[in-house]
Amino acid sequence: MERQIRWEVESSPNPEMHNYNILIINSRTEARKIQQRLNEQFNPIIDLTTLQNALIRGTKLRYLLITFQAPRKPPELIDWKKIYKGKVKRDRNLYTRHASDGLISYIDTQMLEGAFS
């Protein structure tokens, strides 16, 4: 499993709001550092929620799935290299599902299948 960040955003114009879903695959320590840098880059963050924080089977890595709202912070204003110098990829499959656990189920299935390698 490759260390990385994957993200998706859903935006609305009035008022300008950007809803981010971010998947971090890394060690526990590095994931915390990445989350801190996310807080700095997206400030102010509204309703930061950790949807999943789990070990990846067969590795020493974790995956952290978080969601938050960032007013006036579209993705083109974000310097992802200040957040993480490794692989950062927009993943349009990380959209918010209608079922409350839909995104979590999708991520869990993808992890079992090794899709994020």
What pLDDT is attached to residue 11? 95
What pLDDT is attached to residue 51? 94
Residues 67 and 20: beta-carbon distance below 8 Å: yes
pTM: 0.94
CATH of 4-113, one of 1.10.3470, 3.30.1360, 3.30.70, 3.30.450: 3.30.1360
What pLDDT is attached to residue 114? 86
DSSP notation for 17-59: EEEEEEEEEE-HHHHHHHHHHHHHHH-S-EEEEEEEEEEPTTS
What pLDDT is attached to residue 89? 97
Please, which residues bridge with residue 90 across strands?
7
Q: Where are the chain's structural domains?
A: 4-113
- 71 closest CA partner among 22, 11, 6: 11
